[in-house]
Chains A and B, each alone.
Chain A
Amino acid sequence: MSLHPRRRTVRTVRGIVAQWPAIAVLAAIWVLLWGDLSWANVIAGALLAVLIMVVFPLPPVAAQGRFRLGPFLVLAGRFVADLVVASFHVAFMALRPRYVPRGAVVVVQLRNPDDVFLTITAVLSTLVPGSLVVEAQRRTGLVYLHVLDIEDSGGVEGVRRNVLQLEERVLRAFASDDVLAQCDVPQPGGRTSNEEVA
């Protein structure tokens, strides 16, 4: 995307140490691939992870986040439930005879265009409600969603409400307090009604 300025990658030792979560994830994948947890696997995985970070450097993720367990469980639980519902919904749509879905493209303005939250929200919203991300703009935080059947999803407003609620759950789980305040999302604990979100 030539429109966006290319961010500098980090190749120094400190830069790599600063990316320890990525190394941990890569090492964990390595251990899972081998299927047993032994020191040899952990060390080999960590070494390979460092090698990967050196050879294929990525720009650091500029997210000031905070992980909250409770909201994360809410997000995950809702996600699993929604995934089951959405999958069977689409499955029965496919099996219903003489049914032609009425597709539409809806644009949704997310509250926080931050890369990490935009990505998580977009990925989850592709899987969860009856939507599919067609285009996402990093700078403005606009997400263009294709919906399989606009009437089923409750019209344009319904789609927007669903995605914004999803974003709210994502922000509650991962965003820092500042971001939450900035985006006008109440702190976890205080609940909002749906109308307020839309």
Chain B
Amino acid sequence: MLFDAGTWSLITDVLAAVFILAGAFLTFAAGIGALRFPSLLARMHAVTKPQVLGLILLLIGLSLRVRSWSAVAMLALVVAFQLLTAPVGAHLVSRAGFRTGKVDESELQPNQMEPDDDEHTA
């Protein structure tokens, strides 16, 4: 053993605190982004990336604190769900936004969302 049990406990607690703080910060930044960004799609970015990682970091922090395998298994499941569902949800919402004309396309520079755009084959 490198350290005794008490030291290990301290180390994991400090790590957990770091993870929880980072996760909470990212969630907060996602909130700011969701409120501040000017368009639907930009907000979607804020809600997918920092939010997913923020949640993952919070859950890692939690699993470092509780240290029970059954809890870690369930938390791993939550992380997997988040990683799978967040992009799908973001895609569905932004596609719906485009198809119902809720996206202000004049702000997109460049906007290659044209059906007859041949440039991409280059």
Contact = CB atoms under 8 A, between A and B. Distances in A.
Contact of A146 (B38, B53, B71, B94): B94
B83 A127 contact: yes
Contacts, number: 138
B112 A106 contact: yes
A88 B49 CA distance: 9
Interface residues of B, number: 49
Interface in A133-157: 133-136, 142, 144, 146, 148, 150, 156
B111 A104 contact: yes
Given A91-B30, A109-B120, A135 B50 contact: no
B44 interface: yes
Interface stretch (A12-20, A58-66, A95-103): A95-103
A132 B48 contact: yes
B36 to A, nearest CB: 6
Contact of B113 (A95, A101, A105, A108): A105
Interface in B46-84: 46, 48-50, 52-54, 69-71, 73-74, 76-77, 83-84
Interface of B: 25-26, 29-30, 32-33, 36-39, 41-42, 44-46, 48-50, 52-54, 69-71, 73-74, 76-77, 83-84, 86-88, 90-91, 94-95, 98, 107-113, 117, 119-121
7 contacts: A32-B73, A33-B77, A103-B39, A126-B48, A146-B45, A146-B108, A150-B110
